[in-house]
């Protein structure tokens, strides 16, 4: 991978991290503590709020995992290991990396 491709993938990864940050900002309200005041919220409404909170926390966990994968991809770029299959050592097609810059295996190894 040449320097232009490396910088292009850095930009792509930075855009994805920024999108995750924006999703984090939107999801913070959904993760707040659910009020258990029986006077203002009925049982079903409270259960719905608890379910929404659980979904928001699961979304946050997914974003955190994606952020870790993107950070690992940046580290691979720094170490000149980005774009090479961890299993067979072959080059991962650029198109695959454009779709998923966190990919660490080529299509053949990932599907096998």
- Full domain range(s) for residue 11: 3-81
pLDDT digits (tens, 9 = 90+) for 11-52: 999 999 999 999 888 766 655 555 555 555 566 677 887 888
Q: Is residue 110 a part of any domain in this protein?
A: no
Give the relative orientation of helices 3-27 and 43-78 as an angle to the nearest 10 degrees. Answer: 160
Q: How many domains does the chain have?
A: 1
* pLDDT tier for residue 97 given thresholds of 50, 70 and 90: very high
3-state SS class at 49: helix
Q: Is residue 97 a part of any domain in this protein?
A: no
Q: Is residue 86 a part of any domain in this protein?
A: no
Which pTM was predicted? 0.79
Q: Is residue 72 a part of any domain in this protein?
A: yes
Beta strands in 1-112 (DSSP E): none
Q: Is residue 58 a part of any domain in this protein?
A: yes
């Amino acid at each position: 991978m040449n320097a232009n491709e490396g910088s292009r993938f850095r930009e792509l990864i930075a855009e994805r991290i920024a999108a995750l940050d924006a999703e984090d900002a939107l999801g913070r309200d959904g993760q707040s503590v659910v009020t258990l005041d029986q006077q203002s919220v009925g049982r079903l409404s409270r259960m719905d709020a608890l379910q929404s909170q659980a979904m928001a926390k699961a979304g946050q966990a997914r974003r955190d995992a994606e952020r870790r994968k993107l950070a690992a991809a940046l580290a691979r770029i720094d170490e000149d290991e980005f774009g090479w299959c961890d299993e067979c050592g072959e080059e991962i097609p650029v198109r695959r990396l454009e779709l998923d810059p966190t990919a660490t295996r080529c299509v053949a190894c990932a599907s096998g």
